[in-house]
Structure 1
Amino acid sequence: MYKKQTVSSFYALFGGTFDPIHYGHLRPVEVLAQQLGLQQVILLPNHVPPHRPQPEASPWQRLKMIELAVANNPLFRIDTRELQSSNPSYIINTLKIIRQQQGLKFPLAFIIGQDSLLWLHKWHKWQSLLDICHLLVCARPSYNNKLINTELQQWLNTYQTDNIKKLNQQPKGYIYLANTPLLDISATDIRRRYHQNQCCDYLLPHSVQQYIKLQNLYC
C-alpha cells in the first residue's frame, strides 16, 4: 500500500489485470511520468475485472510478476487492495476510497490506454471519474482520438486539456491525451506466444520471463 502524499505531490494510479505485466505497460507510463512530473505511479492489479475475461494467472502470481518487473524502479509502487477483495474491481469505487483517504486538494490521476478510452462509456459510472481525478490516456498503435460513442466524444471535447500546469495544480477534472511511445505489445499476444512456445524476449522483463517459466504459466 502507498503512503499518504503531500498536497504538492502529483501521482497517478494505473490499473489492469497485468496477465502478465510487460513493457507495453511500463515504458509508456515512464515517459508519461517524465512529461507530466508525476511523483509516483501506483500499480493497481485487478482481482475480478468486470469488463474482460478472467486472467489465466492467479492474483498472487500476477502480483509476484509485478513485484519482479518494478523491483528496481522507484517510480512504481503497488497497491493490493483490489486483489484482497472478491468483488468486481470497479475503479470508480477504488478511486472514491483513495480520494477520501488522501483529501480533496492534491492532484490525483488515473492512467488508461487509448484502447480503454474507446470503451470507457461501458465502465461503471464512467461519467463520475473526473469528479475524483484526472484521466491520463497513453497512446496505443492503430487507435485514433475519434470516438464512436457520441456522448463520450462530447465528454472528451469538454474536458480535454494540453495544459500540464492544470494537471499539476488542479486536483481533478481534466483529460490528457499523452504523446507516449507506440509499443505494439499486448498481454494477449504474449500469452499466445507462450501457448505456442514462441520467444517473448524484449516484450517483458527477464525476471518476469523466468517466473513464468518457473510457474509453468501460459502453457
Structure 2
Amino acid sequence: MASLHALFGGTFDPIHYGHLKTVQALAQEVSLHQVTLLPNNVPPHRPQPEASAAQRVAMVRLAIADRPLFNLDTRELERQTPSYTVETLEQLRAERGTHQPLAFIIGQDSLLSLHKWHRWQQLMDLCHLLVCQRPGYARAMPTPALQEWLEQHQTADASALHQQPAGLIWLADTPLVPVSATDIRRRRHQGLSCEDLLPPAVIDYINHQGLYTK
C-alpha cells in the first residue's frame, strides 16, 4: 500500500508559521512524507481575500521552496464555481485509486463545525481527518451525537492511518502556534512588524507587492 498522503486546504492570505510549523510537527507525529497545500477558491458570499489568487499562490511557493515536505495543488483556484472539500477529495480519490491512504488536515475549530460542511458525512469515506489543536477551542464536540461520531472514528494508532485508505480521525498533539492570518493582516494595517510570524521570502514578497497596507 502507498504511504499516507495528506492534504491541507486554506485561504493562505498569507501563509504563515502557524500553518507551516503546525503541519511539520504533525508530519513527525504520524510519519507524513508529503503534504499537498490546496489554496481555497473563496465563494462569492464569503469575505474575499485581500491578496489575489495569483499572489496567494506565489506566497505559498515562496514559503515551501526550502521545505521538501510540502507541494502545491492549485486545482481549487482553477474552478469557476465554489470549491467544496468533499468534491476535491472525490476528484483526488478518483486519481489516486481506492487503496491510497489519504488524509485531510484541519484545525480543531473546523472539526467542531464539520457538521455544517457540504456533504460532511461522506468525508470519512474518502479520507482520514488529522486534527490540529487551535488555541481557545473546546476539545469536545458540540452535541452528544457528534461526540459519539468522533469517538467511533477516532484512533490512537498512527500506523492505522497508513494501513487503510480512509475513515479514521487523529487528534494531533501539535503545538499551539498563536499565529493567524487575520492577526498578520491587522498588524500590517497598523504598520507593525510581522518578522517572526512568516518566512522572510513571504515578507519580502508582501512588501514588494504592497499587500495588507490599506
TM-score between the two structures when normalised by the length of structure 2: 0.96
- Is 1:47 the counterpart of 2:44 in the alignment? no
Shift in CA distance, 11/136, structure 1 to aligned 2, threshold 3 Å = same
- 1:41·1:75 contact (CA, 8 Å) conserved in 2? yes
Distance in 2 between residues matched to 1:134 and 1:52, nearest whole Å: 27
1:49 positional shift: 4.4
- Is 1:194 the counterpart of 2:188 in the alignment? yes
Distance in 2 between residues matched to 1:28 and 1:49, nearest whole Å: 26
Distance in 1 between residues matched to 2:106 and 2:188, nearest whole Å: 25
1:143 positional shift: 1.7
1:39 positional shift: 1.7
CA RMSD in angstroms, aligned pairs only: 1.3
- Aligned match of 2:136: 142
What is the SS of the residue equivalent to 1:47? coil
Give the unaligned 5+ runs of structure 1. 1-6
Distance in 2 between residues matched to 1:209 and 1:11, nearest whole Å: 29
Given candidates 9, 15, 27, the residue that maps to 2:9 is: 15
- For 1:184, give the aligned amino acid: P
- For 2:163, give the aligned amino acid: Q
Distance in 1 between residues matched to 2:33 and 2:202, nearest whole Å: 25
- For 2:188, give the aligned amino acid: Y
- Aligned match of 2:103: 109
Distance in 2 between residues matched to 1:116 and 1:50, nearest whole Å: 20
Distance in 2 between residues matched to 1:149 and 1:57, nearest whole Å: 37
Shift in CA distance, 24/38, structure 1 to aligned 2, threshold 3 Å = same
- Is 1:78 the counterpart of 2:81 in the alignment? no
Point out 4+ residue stretches in structure 1 off by more than 6 angstroms.
Answer: none
1:59 positional shift: 0.4
- For 1:61, give the aligned amino acid: Q
1:181 positional shift: 0.8
Aligned residues: 213
Deviations 1:48-106 (Å, cap 9, x if unpaired)? 24785221110010000000000011100000101111211201000001001110112
Give the unaligned 5+ runs of structure 2. none
Given candidates 179, 185, 200, the residue that maps to 2:179 is: 185
- Comparing 140-149 and 75-84, the one that deviates more: 140-149
Given candidates 15, 21, 26, the residue that maps to 1:32 is: 26
Distance in 1 between residues matched to 2:141 and 2:65, nearest whole Å: 37
Deviations 1:94-137 (Å, cap 9, x if unpaired)? 00010011101121000001111111111111111100000000
- 1:17·1:49 contact (CA, 8 Å) conserved in 2? no
TM-score between the two structures when normalised by the length of structure 1: 0.94
- 1:51·1:123 contact (CA, 8 Å) conserved in 2? no
- 1:136·1:175 contact (CA, 8 Å) conserved in 2? yes
- Among the aligned pairs, what percent are the same residue? 59
What is the SS of the residue equivalent to 1:152? helix
